[in-house]
Amino acid sequence: MLKNHDNRLQTSVFESWKCFRIHAEWYRLQMMVMEELSIQDYSKQHSENCEMLIQL
């Protein structure tokens, strides 16, 4: 029983870590993009992306 619970815990930690890695990678790419664009363009694009996500 306890062993089974431990496995589940490890799995959920692993899933969270994978998710974190994906977000970190995405964030890093966003930072690189932001350096190339001006901050204002980035903000505008960001709010458009948010609106698109809300519409989904």
Residue 9 pLDDT = 73
DSSP state of 37: S
> What does the pLDDT look like over 15-47, one tens digit per residue?
888 878 888 888 888 887 777 766 666 667 667
Q: Which residue has the higher pLDDT, 13 or 37?
A: 13
Residue 34 class from Cβ within 10 Å (0-12 exposed, 13-18 middle, 19+ buried)?
Answer: middle
- Looking at the structure of the chain, the number of domains it has is 1
CB–CB of 23/15 below 8 Å?
no
Q: Which domain holds residue 13?
A: 2-55
Q: Whose structure tokens read 């995405």?
A: 26
DSSP state of 38: -
